[in-house]
Amino acid sequence: MSKQIQRQMLEPTNLAEAKDFALTLSKSGLVPKDFQGKPANILVAVQWGYEIGLAPMQALQNIAVINGRPSLWGDSLLALVKGHKNFGGCKETMEGDTAVCEMVRLLPNGKEELTRATFSKQDAEKANLWSKQGPWRQYPKRMLQLRARGFAIRDAFPDAIKGLITAEEAQDFPTQPVDITPKEGTEQAPSLSGAKTTQELMERIQQSSEEPGKDEQEEMPDDADELLYLHIPGKDKPEGYNFGDDWIARYAELQLGMANCSLPAVDRRHKLKELEEANVNVMDVLAKTDASTTIEELKDKRLNMNKHLSMQAKEEEEKDGSTT
């Protein structure tokens, strides 16, 4: 009789273990250089890996923090999606100077949903990528392929990648460092993701705006025309911010919280739309500044979330129909 060898993965079960785990790995020469001597980055990467189903060591090998954004290398992103229960196939081709990626998602009703994304030489030229030093000059077709693949995956499987993009795409973003380290003595704001009713969601939003450390939020005198106002549907008064980065960070926090709370998918989709419509004027203002790329990402993220929530709503509707 042959013996079965049971493999155990090193997986921290609490914050203290996670910190010790990250500190130990940061001292190793076997982890990627970007993580050596950086236990905090290891901790974040391992958490991101947990969110998308990667074991700790897989996360360190496949997740890269580029220009302040966590991302996955293009081949790893495809491998992750191929393991999704609804993955139905992927086809990548070149049509002249245009890379094409077709991604198939299997729907609960047995039908297939085809997502087709393209990225052309002309697109790369518009984004000032085609003549960029590095991979774009060395392997232009490969870079076009990875960009088309990234778009297709984000549109077809937003639930699998949790907002991550390809590392190749992140490398092309302009560097805009923002210090998100909590100030000493601040407390963590309550999570919005656990809210099960609209009232509970609004209560948590109110609490998060009152938490210590929100000192970037300003009191709003009547003549404070220069503040950037963030309007939250269901909340009487808007929040005011002096800086675009603070406004964007708060908006992204609300967007993610509303998308991941425990309300029905239809309600979450509606609230995301309300949030964007209530703040369209400020977003238009910020779109004319250096934050234009980030604003477009927030809008794209909402569309991806909407697509995922629409599929989830169909699944919830079919599930409710099958139980009646």
Mean pLDDT of 68-91: 84
* Spatial separation of the C-alpha atoms in residues 54 and 46, rounded to whole Å: 8
Is 250 in the same domain as 314? yes
Closest to 108 measured CA to CA, from 320, 314, 321: 314
Is 155 in the same domain as 237? no
- 1 domain-assigned: no
**H helix intervals, the chain:** 15-26, 39-52, 56-62, 74-82, 121-126, 135-138, 140-156, 158-161, 167-170, 198-210, 244-260, 265-278, 280-286, 292-323
Q: What is the pLDDT of residue 188?
A: 42
Mean pLDDT of 266-274: 89
- 36 domain-assigned: yes
- 186 domain-assigned: no
Mean pLDDT of 80-101: 92
Among 126, 154, 170, give the residue marking a domain's end.
170
Is 212 in the same domain as 312? yes
Q: What is the pLDDT of residue 214?
A: 44
Residues spanned by the domain of 257: 198-323
Mean pLDDT of 254-275: 85
Is 307 in the same domain as 202? yes
More confident: 204 or 83: 83
Q: What is the pTM of this model?
A: 0.50
* Spatial separation of the C-alpha atoms in residues 124 and 144, rounded to whole Å: 8
Is 210 in the same domain as 315? yes
Total domains present in the chain? 3
Is 142 in the same domain as 236? no
Is 89 in the same domain as 51? no
Is 43 in the same domain as 62? yes
pLDDT class of 280 with cuts at 50, 70, 90: very high
Least confident range from 180-184, 257-261, 273-277: namely: 180-184
